[in-house]
Copies of this chain bind each other. A is one copy, B any other.
């Protein structure tokens, strides 16, 4: 099956390419009969407009770019699923770039997607990103941009995030209500919006229940596979060690579970553990892991919807807002000593 162009149709029908182009787009200044002929011929040849040529012309490419830190991550891969589903339904293609948590690569990704003329950009910031000038430039070029999950307060754009404050609050309160008093919080880079919101939820819950916020129980970082263990050791050496861990990501939840088990700390008898995670196997872990579930797929869907809405009604500016998706607390054995005995 070769690939036919508008020229082939024009030649076949003895028309000019302009006429064919206009007929295909349904222009009013083309004879209905001519239109029919063109449509029929296009159908017959299985004509598909060349997206590259369209992009060059500057018109819509019907592609949206997605830039995120890592694909191999439960949260993001589910978010992509949501994005793809919506995009596909609405006739858009998705081009995915990974920043690998690198600021430089994120900039390169943005440049790439701009020069590939995507119709819009969906982003979740790398952990190294604090300066958002490169995104401001995107906006200046009038390219629709929607941020999700890892967003920046400095940009006046539509954002779709989980209710991080609420989720963290619920998790922390749950730990307190199940009798915990020294709750460690393992989290990611402090300048990220999600980190701050979760930390705020954690603090708020502590304060509500009259517990003092102890800075030394909060640890930030990009925790590689071997970094969680030492940190747990350090925390457990305290005169009054934590009796619970609240972690802020998939990676941390798993790393922490592993570290605790390796150290023969029994969960939940010695310490409770609860994570912010989308692990679908959370229930099958030993012990089954309590979590705050962020609806990753839904976040992706809503972000994609907002973006495409913006792309398609470009003339009239859509309201810019922050959509906050509720999170869900799921209590399992890792935070419920009484469940162990059942």
> Do B50 and A52 touch across chains, with their CB atoms under 8 A apart?
no
Query: Is residue A115 contacting chain B, with contact meaning CB distance below 8 A?
Result: yes
In the complex, which residues of chain B have a beta carbon less than 8 angstroms from the beta carbon of A55?
Answer: 52
CA distance A1 to B3 in the complex (A): 37
Bitwise interface map of A from 165 to 200 toward B, beta carbon under 8 Å scored 1, else 0: 000000000000000000000000000000000000
Query: Is residue A17 contacting chain B, with contact meaning CB distance below 8 A?
Result: no
CA distance A71 to B84 in the complex (A): 10
In the complex, which residues of chain B have a beta carbon less than 8 angstroms from the beta carbon of A145?
Answer: none
- Each complex incorporates copies of this chain amounting to 2
CA distance A114 to B3 in the complex (A): 10
With A52-B55, A71-B77, A115-B50 already in contact, the answer to whether A281 and B280 are too (CB < 8 A) is no
Query: Is residue A90 contacting chain B, with contact meaning CB distance below 8 A?
Result: no
Query: Is residue A279 contacting chain B, with contact meaning CB distance below 8 A?
Result: yes
In the complex, which residues of chain B have a beta carbon less than 8 angstroms from the beta carbon of A261?
Answer: 284
A162 to chain B, nearest CB (A): 17
In the complex, which residues of chain B have a beta carbon less than 8 angstroms from the beta carbon of A88?
Answer: 105
A263 to chain B, nearest CB (A): 14
CA distance A96 to B137 in the complex (A): 25
A153 to chain B, nearest CB (A): 23
CA distance A112 to B96 in the complex (A): 14
CA distance A288 to B285 in the complex (A): 9
Query: Is residue A32 contacting chain B, with contact meaning CB distance below 8 A?
Result: no
> In chain B, what residue has the closest Cβ to A55?
B52
In the complex, which residues of chain B have a beta carbon less than 8 angstroms from the beta carbon of A280?
Answer: 254
Interface size on A, residues (CB 8 A): 47
Query: Is residue A257 contacting chain B, with contact meaning CB distance below 8 A?
Result: yes
Interface hits, A299-329 → B, CB 8 Å? none
CA distance A3 to B138 in the complex (A): 12
The one of B77, B279, B283, B284 that contacts A72, using a Cβ cutoff of 8 Å: B77
Residue of A1, A115, A284 ringed by the most chain B CB atoms within 10 A:
A284
CA distance A296 to B71 in the complex (A): 14
In the complex, which residues of chain B have a beta carbon less than 8 angstroms from the beta carbon of A96?
Answer: 71, 94-96
Query: Is residue A21 contacting chain B, with contact meaning CB distance below 8 A?
Result: no
In the complex, which residues of chain B have a beta carbon less than 8 angstroms from the beta carbon of A77?
Answer: 71-73, 77
In the complex, which residues of chain B have a beta carbon less than 8 angstroms from the beta carbon of A19?
Answer: none
> Do A52 and B257 touch across chains, with their CB atoms under 8 A apart?
no
> Do A53 and B51 touch across chains, with their CB atoms under 8 A apart?
no
With A84-B98, A98-B84, A281-B281 already in contact, the answer to whether A115 and B48 are too (CB < 8 A) is yes
Query: Is residue A142 contacting chain B, with contact meaning CB distance below 8 A?
Result: no
In the complex, which residues of chain B have a beta carbon less than 8 angstroms from the beta carbon of A254?
Answer: 280-281, 284
The one of B1, B50, B53, B257 that contacts A284, using a Cβ cutoff of 8 Å: B257
Query: Is residue A111 contacting chain B, with contact meaning CB distance below 8 A?
Result: yes
CA distance A1 to B254 in the complex (A): 42
Query: Is residue A287 contacting chain B, with contact meaning CB distance below 8 A?
Result: yes
Query: Is residue A129 contacting chain B, with contact meaning CB distance below 8 A?
Result: no
Q: Which 10 A-B pairs have the closest CB atoms?
A: A286-B286, A72-B77, A96-B96, A52-B55, A72-B81, A52-B56, A71-B77, A284-B285, A95-B95, A71-B80
